[in-house]
Amino acid sequence: MIDVGLERADDEAVWRHALDHGFTIVSKDADFAERSLAEGPPPKVVWIRRGNCATNEIEALLRDRCQHLLAFGRDTSAPFLSLM
C-alpha cells in the first residue's frame, strides 16, 4: 500500500483502489469480507483469519493455499475466501 500512497488510507479508499485496478484485497480485517458479501465482487477479498502472527506465517499460509487461491480467482461468483 505504501507504493501507491494508501498506507494510512481508510477502507473505502482501499476498496476503491482495488476496484479501479482489478485487484484482490488480502486482509485480516473482517470489514472487507462483510462488505464483499453485501456488495459482491469486484473486488474479491481474501480474509486471513489468524490472530497476531508474523508476515512470514501469512506468506506460508498463502503459499500453502495456492490452489485454493487460484480456484477462488476463477470463480466469478465467490465474493471472498476465508483462510485460517
pLDDT at 11: 95
pLDDT digits (tens, 9 = 90+) for 29-70: 999 999 999 999 999 999 999 989 999 999 999 999 999 999
Element (H, E) at 66: helix 66-74
Cβ–Cβ contacts within 10 Å for residue 18, how many? Answer: 19
pTM of the model: 0.91
Which range marks the domain in which residue 57 is found? 2-83
Structural domains counted in the chain = 1
